[in-house]
Chains A and B, each alone.
Chain A
Amino acid sequence: MFMKQTVADLASFGGASLFEEIRSTSNLVRPDIEKFLGYSKIFFDQHRYTNDGPLVKLLEQRLAAFHGARHCISFCNGFWALVLTMKCLALPGKMEVVMPSLTYRRMADLAAWAGLTPHYCEVDVGSLAISPEHAAACINSNTALLLGVHPIVNTCDVQGLEELSARSGVPLLFDSVESNYESYRGKKIGGFGRAECFSMHASKLINGFEAGYVTTDDEELAAKLARMRGFGFFGQDNVEVLGMNAKLNEVHAAMALAGLDDLLDQVNRNRVRYRAYQDALADIAGIRLLQFDETEQTSFKTIVIELLPDWKLSRAATLKLLHAEKILARPYYSPALHQKTTSYATIFDALPITEALAERFMLMPCGHFVTEDDVRQTATLMRFLDAHAGEIKSRMP
């Protein structure tokens, strides 16, 4: 129950925090333990703990079918799935990967591990996703790869990017880490571009502890990736390609399988949470909840809000106030990648849209630990901050 009467009751000013335990933006969904143990028993009985074990094979079959893709290759995590796929798809002899700057904070490091130079492009104001038009302007004779990154809510302009790829001859790879469940124009994400990469980190839609996978219809690419994740081996004593160890172990595969079994239920739970946010934030003029496109299949997983001009507190101040209340809201992809210094070269022109957007959005608590009541209390707190914005500002250092 929301107990704050005056500004002094805010945790930032000495009051009790709204929540006792942290409410985070991590999904941390817990699959059914019995299902997890049931899968575990399979590898346990066969003494197969890794190296293309029975559960990794089953998981790859299930995920390929789920996405409607011909092949799925699992990895130890999404990071190395992306690095290896980027290495495979980059045009030989070319160096630049065109990617949005308003994206995952390690994306540039990923490109660097793949031996490529990030070339940052703008995002679209409406979707917050890579803009095919701006991406086109970044493509030059040294472009090796186009990285279509789906935003946190809904999808990017898949058709626009596929057309750009076809027109320019630059291979298109999708980072679909935030879009396991989504569809684009009725077709499941996972079947677009040359390949799509996904994460099953505990904070993602499917919790595989740490895990990742790639979907593709390209048989040759699938075979190459499967070799690269296992030191390049094809059969015993035969290395066919420069590889590493990026294998998924069987315990993590068991977890991901149990998560996959729970997926429909989870999406229903996510929808309930999202509806609570829709309802509870509707009357706050300074806040816009990013709406999931319900004409498509969507996971309702992550809650993103925009702070509009009517919101009188800065985002930094708002975050600070929320953190004190144990609401671990987070800035949306901020700072943007081009605003950070790196030990390697990056390429970009002025990115005013990205810079403006990087200041405006925040992720709100969601996932397994967040109840409908938590959502209502969080919204009440936002309303309280809104109503007392002037006094709060005067009291903040």
Chain B
Amino acid sequence: MSTHKQSAQDFAILGGAPMWTNPTHVGQLYFPSWERYEEAMRGIFERQYYTNHGPLAQEFEAKLADFFQVKHVIAVTNATLALMMAVKALGLKGRVIVPSFTFIASAQSLTLSGVTPVFCDADPLTYQMSLAHVEKLLEEEPDISAILGVNLWGGSCNPKALDELGARHGVDVYYDSAHAFGCTIDGAPIGHFGRMEIFSFHATKVFSTTEGGCITTNDDTLAAQLRNIRSSYGAGPIVDVPLTSNGRFSEAQAAIGLLNLETFDQAITNNKDSFSLYRSRLRDIPGIALIEPQGVDQSNWQYLVCHIDDAKFGMPRDVLLSVLKAENINARRYFYPGIHRSIPYVHDFPQYIDALPESDKLCASLIQLPIGVLVSAEKIESICGLIADAQRHAVSIVKGMKAAP
């Protein structure tokens, strides 16, 4: 693994030539071939059915129901809207437990739907939400109506245990499984836990409809309510719901989803190979530890997240990010800052600021590296070589950066 970075001065951050001319972003970015895309779009133009639960949307939901092995799949504009619809369908009031160490949309979906988030901390071993802390909150905090569990990074928060916890305390449990498409627990796909689960089909996810998402549930009543909240025109009977919206899923989204579903196994295989390559190349670099998906028997390997030990690596996490960025590798902090330190929560709920130490540690120490269809094995070799060189020259790089004007 040579990157031609013989000394600190060869790094772009200190004036050397960047290794790449174009940036590499994190994000899966799987998409059908142009030919298949064109064919599917011509089909839509021939049928002249564009949205409102059209034939492709119906086929897509049916195929996904098979995929997830659940009774109902409700395809939605995007996962955040799906999470907001969930609050209304469940009729949640008061406060809902949600982890602070996750993507901010989980909490936003609560606030925008008129319920208050109660933040739980992360588990220091699994990095998933801490079920012990959830239990403590259920015992101590008033007015909790539900738990929004989050399955992070192609792993899980142990939804079996969380479901039991919710049942013991008589509160609804539902899941933000935006990262969990294609993951299995005990041989069965994630998707049947809690009252419902919400998945994301954003372009950066392993399974994409550009924007998009879905809700999975085995509950007939809930499914009917969700379809009415989404506004579906002809998708089942009209039932009473507190509020409707527009969360409709277009035929274009469905067409892309159907095509990506056909090749989904290839995406998983590609991710798994990439993940393995990262694992083997990062293994011997001091101070960087790859986080393996937790709590699943099969992952979708869609997030490559590493823990950086500043002292062992020789430079702080944020310096490493700058070094990589200068070479045109847009690695990311993931997540940063914690939701409890973000607007509006940092102002509205100051009680959480220093109450979630594990979240804060993770926010300060993790990086996400690119993995997906645009990240070749060759590029992964180079990225890992770059990181190894950065570690090797860490002291001089840091010194050089301090000396720079």
Q: Which of A43-51, A121-129, A277-285 contacts B (4 or more CB under 8 A)?
A: A43-51
Do B248 and A244 touch across chains, with their CB atoms under 8 A apart? no
Contact of B246 with A242 in the complex, beta carbons under 8 Å: no
**Contacting residues, chain A, for B34 (C-beta < 8 A):** 41, 44
User: Does B203 lie within 8 Å of A50, measured CB to CB?
Assistant: yes
Determine whether the beta carbon of B41 is less than 8 Å from that of A36: yes
B238 to chain A, nearest CB (A): 12
- Please tell me which stretch of B102-110, B120-128, B378-386 contacts chain A, meaning at least 4 of its Cβ atoms lie within 8 angstroms of it: B102-110
CA of A41 to CA of B81, assembled, Å: 28
Q: Is B48 a contact partner of A245 (Cβ separation < 8 A)?
A: no
Taking the closest CB of chain B, its distance from the CB of A49, in whole angstroms, is 4
Q: Which residues of A contact B251 (CB under 8 A)?
A: 209
Bound together, the chains give a CA A44 to CA B48 distance in angstroms of 23
Do B202 and A50 touch (CB < 8 A)? yes
A106-B231, A109-B244 are known contacts. Are A30 and B108 too (CB-CB below 8 A)?
no
A241 to chain B: closest residue by CB: B343
Complex contact B45–A28 (CB within 8 A) = no
Report the separation of the CA atoms of residues A80 and B78 in the bound assembly, to the nearest whole angstrom: 12
Which among A179-187, A232-240, A298-306, A358-366 touches the partner chain?
A: A232-240
Asked if B52 CB lies within 8 Å of chain A CBs, one says: yes
Contact at A77–B31, with CB atoms within 8 Å?
Answer: no
Contact A231 B108, beta carbon cutoff 8 Å: yes
Stretch at the interface among B138-146, B330-338, B350-358: B330-338
* B245 and A28 contacting across the interface, CB-CB below 8 Å: no
- A210-246 Cβ-contact flags toward B at 8 Å (1 or 0): 1000000000000000000001100011011111111
Q: Which residue of B lies closest to A32 (CB)?
A: B45
Contact of A91 with B by CB under 8 A = no
A40, CB-defined interface residue at 8 Å: yes
Write the chain A residue with the least CB distance to B246.
A79
With contacts A47-B31, A202-B52, A247-B211 taken as known, whether A239 is within 8 angstroms of B343 at the C-beta atoms is: yes
Report which of A36, A37, A47, A369 forms a contact with B29, defined as CB distance below 8 A.
A47
- The answer on a CB contact under 8 Å between B246 and A239 is no
Chain B positions within 8 Å of A245 at CB level: 78-81, 105, 211
Task: Number of B interface residues at 8 Å Cβ cutoff, please give it.
Answer: 50
Residues of B within 8 A of A1 (CB): none
Question: Contact at B210–A50, with CB atoms within 8 Å?
Answer: yes
How many A-B pairs have beta carbons closer than 8 Å: the answer is: 133
Cβ of B211 and Cβ of A109 under 8 Å apart? Answer: no
- Shortest CB-to-CB span from B377 to chain A, Å, is 18
Q: Tell me whether B104 and A231 are in contact (CB under 8 A).
A: yes
CB atoms of A33 and B244 under 8 A apart: no
Judged by DSSP, the binding face of B is loop
- B336–A40 CB distance below 8 A: no
Shortest CB distance A220–B (Å): 16
Interface check B391, CB cutoff 8 A: no
Q: Does B77 contact A (CB under 8 A)?
A: yes
Chain A interface helix/strand/loop/mixed: loop
Cα distance, A240 to B108, chains bound together (Å): 13
- Which of B38, B81, B332, B336 meets A244, CB within 8 Å? B81
Q: How many Å lie between the Cα of A207 and that of B78 in the bound state?
A: 19
CB–CB A244/B344 < 8 A:
no
Cβ of A112 within 8 Å of any chain B Cβ, yes or no, is yes
Shortest Cβ distance from residue A41 to the other chain B in the assembled complex, whole angstroms: 8
Q: Is the CB of A252 within 8 A of B231?
A: no
- Let me know if A343 is at the binding interface, CB within 8 A: yes
Please provide the chain B residues from 185 to 209 with a CB less than 8 Å away from any CB of chain A in the complex. Answer: 202-203, 208
Contact B231 A231 (CB under 8 A): no
Contact string against B for A residues 97-121, beta-carbon threshold 8 Å, 1 for contact and 0 otherwise: 0000000001001001101000000
B184 within 8 A of partner (CB): no
Within 8 A of B (CB), among A186-210: 201-202, 207, 209-210
- Whether A77 pairs with B38 at a CB distance below 8 angstroms is no
Cβ of B341 to closest chain A Cβ, rounded Å: 10
- On whether the beta carbons of A106 and B246 are closer than 8 Å, the reply is yes
In the complex, whether A143 has a CB less than 8 A from a CB of chain B is no
**Which B residues are in CB contact (< 8 Å) with A37?**
38, 41
- Are A77's CB and B77's CB within 8 A? yes
Known: A210-B246, A249-B210. Is A40-B48 also a contact (CB below 8 A)?
no
Cβ < 8 Å to A, chain B residues 233-247: 242-246
A360 to chain B, nearest CB (A): 25
Bound: A273/B77 CA distance, A? 33
CB proximity of B255 to chain A, nearest CB, Å: 9
Chain A CB within 8 A of B224 CB: no
Contact between chains at A242 and B108 (CB < 8 Å): yes
The distance in angstroms between the C-alpha atoms of A30 and B251, with both chains bound, is: 14
| Residues on B with beta carbons closer than 8 Å to the beta carbon of A343 | 242-243
- Give bound CA distance, A391 to B219, whole Å: 49
Flag whether A251 is at the interface (Cβ < 8 A).
yes
Q: Quick check: is B67 within 8 A (CB to CB) of the other chain?
A: no
B264 at the interface (CB under 8 A from A): no
A66 to chain B: closest CB distance in Å? 21
Q: Is the CB of A244 within 8 A of B333?
A: no
Shortest Cβ distance from A349 into chain B, in angstroms? 24
A-B pairs with beta carbons under 8 Å apart, 6 shown = A40-B37, A49-B29, A106-B245, A202-B51, A242-B344, A344-B242
Pick the 9 closest A-B CB pairs, nearest first. Answer: A79-B246, A202-B50, A209-B250, A245-B80, A49-B203, A249-B210, A343-B242, A49-B210, A249-B211
A residues neighboring B (CB under 8 Å): 28, 30, 33, 36-37, 40-41, 44, 47, 49-51, 76-80, 106, 109, 112-113, 115, 201-202, 207, 209-210, 231-232, 236-237, 239-252, 255, 343-344, 368-369
Q: A232-B343, A242-B108 are in contact. List 13 more A-B contacts (CB 8 A).
A: A28-B50, A49-B203, A78-B246, A106-B245, A202-B51, A209-B51, A210-B246, A239-B104, A239-B342, A244-B81, A244-B108, A249-B210, A251-B252
